[in-house]
Amino acid sequence: EAGVAQSPRYKIIEKRQSVAFWCNPISGHATLYWYQQILGQGPKLLIQFQNNGVVDDSQLPKDRFSAERLKGVDSTLKIQPAKLEDSAVYLCASSLYGEGEQFFGPGTRLTVL
């Protein structure tokens, strides 16, 4: 079974630029999560999708972050414009259903200069 795929693996941008991350969850998984992990901290949930609907986006900075889940499968997370404090690893995870075990992708390491 293929795992959660993410791209790119690394991204370096300057502040005020835009960036987008892509996630392909495990086939058949209805729930998809985006997390932000700052160095030395645990992951913080940004947004949770159930199929193509948003379940929780309470910690998503909506003035600059946006996310969508195309047809309930792949998802993209966008930052526009980026700030220095957005430097982090962005992790995507999926689960079969909302309360199920989460499986994580390798993450995208973003550096904002």
Partner 1 sequence: KQEVTQIPAALSVPEGENLVLNCSFTDSAIYNLQWFRQDPGKGLTSLLLIQSSQREQTSGRLNASLDKSSGRSTLYIAASQPGDSATYLCAVRDNFNKFYFGSGTKLNVKP
Binding residues (CB under 8 A) for partner 1: these are 4, 6, 33, 40-45, 48, 55-56, 91, 93, 98-99, 101-107, 109
DSSP E strands, 1-113:
5-7, 10-13, 19-24, 31-37, 44-50, 53-56, 65-69, 75-79, 88-95, 103-104, 108-112
- Taking the least distance from each CB to partner 1, the nearer of 16 and 54 is 54
Q: By C-beta, is 87 or 102 nearer to partner 1?
A: 102
Q: Supply the minimum distance, in Å, between the C-beta of residue 7 and partner 1.
A: 13
Of 72 and 81, which has the nearer Cβ to partner 1?
72
Q: For residues 47 and 66, is the Cβ–Cβ distance under 8 A? A: no
